[in-house]
Amino acid sequence: MKARWLCRGNWLALMLVFVLALTACGTGGGGGTASNGKGEVKIGLNLELSGNVASYGTSAANGAELAAEEINNAGGVNGLTIKIVKQDNRSDNSESANVAVRLMTQDKVSAIIGAATSGNTKAMIQLSEENKIPVVSPTATADSVTVDEKTGKVNEYMFRACFIDPFQGKVAAQFALGELGAKTAAVYTDTSSDYAKGLAASFKKAFTEGGGKIVQEESYVQGDKEFRSTLTRIKGANPDFIYVPGYYEEVGLIIKQAREMDIQAPMMGGDGWDSPKLVELAGKTNLNNTFFTNHYSSQDPDPQVQKFVKAYKDKYGSDPDGFAALGYDAMYLIADAIKRAGSSDPVKIHDALAQTKDLQLATGKISIDEYHNPVKSAAIIEFKDGEQTFRTKINP
């Protein structure tokens, strides 16, 4: 009996979905303008609120919501209040596409913020073109999010608020040559990761162009635990500086084993180092004299940053991480574009986004280049007895 009842329930539910879909199509068919309601502009959030990278998406959503609240409290953009439509893509590529369809065709948003990872963001490329809705990812760093890998053409409606991977290598080279006065460097790369290889290539290019010399190049793969023999080789080359782009799991062991072998040269990497696990693996004192590039630091004395950190802490009770800061910035980036476009029309917002210039945001002054990537500063974080401390900010 019960089973049969359930069957009927399912049928009813299916019917209901069908009817709803029909009505949605009916109202959606003729819609040309994206803003509906009075004095409102809808911004969709397509973020990872559950699933394996839920912490990324949740932080970014917090940041974006804080920004929207601030903007609305200050009277909105051109008199329009921002209304957020928040959706969860469950850290899944195909779900991200589903969410994007819903936001673009049913909710009729003017722009979308999302997703936090490159893969989930790339699921929206084609949809953004078809529906002509601009998408701003807060934190997708892969090249191919904004530029098509095969054709080299810009994905017209895709933007991002973070810098891309190769930029970190360039910044690290500038820092090593300038602040640390290094003349020779060794590069120890995770060759199983495109991210690390990209960072290493741009570091090598910038370091040699800046007058430095790469004296040793070594590689490892993810999952390695024994680095001592390769480190002995690096020690023999005696470099002033060691660049180790990679993820914290291996980097932590590399730093520990290097310091145990009396390699005291400064070591540096990219945002893949940003994890509390790194301190556990490497040990607090071993981490002294190591640095990494990151999107932002909550200890940056810049008043714009401190204003954001305080507001975030008041609202959520914790220090904002990089994802929160970039989610916050993504919302301001869109708000600025709406203001300049003077409209909530997605195509006009897209035009304005592409022309963004010298906009001051929490993670730095930002201009959007011809490839829809921001040109902005990077923060250098230094480890002092296991604590991440803000060292300096480097402009491109």
Binding site for another protein (CB under 8 A): 191, 218-221, 223, 225-226, 228-230, 232-233, 235-236, 249, 252-253, 256, 259-262, 277, 280-281, 283, 285
Whose Cβ is closer to another protein: residue 102's or residue 256's?
256
Is 201 or 261 the residue whose CB approaches another protein more closely? 261
Closest separation between CB of residue 225 and another protein, Å?
4
CB of residue 267 to another protein, shortest distance in Å? 16
184-190: strand order across its sheet: 213-220, 184-190, 241-243, 267-269, 290-294, 378-384, 387-394
Smallest gap from residue 386 Cβ to another protein (A):
12
Contact (Cβ atoms closer than 8 angstroms) between residue 23 and residue 68:
no
- Our CB check for another protein shows the closer of 232 and 355 to be 232
Query: CB within 8 A of 214, min separation 6: which ones?
Result: 184, 185, 186, 187, 204, 207, 208
CA angle 277, 281, 282 (to 5 degrees): 115
Q: Nearest approach, Cβ of 118 to another protein (angstroms)? A: 22
Question: Shortest Cβ distance from residue 324 to another protein (Å)?
Answer: 23
Q: What is the residue-wise DSSP string for 294-305?
A: ES--TT---HHH
CB nearer another protein, residue 102 or residue 228: 228
Closer of 190 and 302 to another protein (Cβ): 190
Nearest-approach distance from CB 193 to another protein, in angstroms: 13
- Considering the complex, state which of residue 85 and residue 237 has its C-beta at the smaller distance from another protein: 237
Q: Which of 319, 315, 328, 334 is nearest to 364 (CA)?
A: 328
Residue 335: both structure tokens together: 């708000």
Q: Quote the CA–CA distance of 96 and 364 in Å, as a whole number.
A: 29
The CA angle 323-335-83, to the nearest 5 degrees, is 85
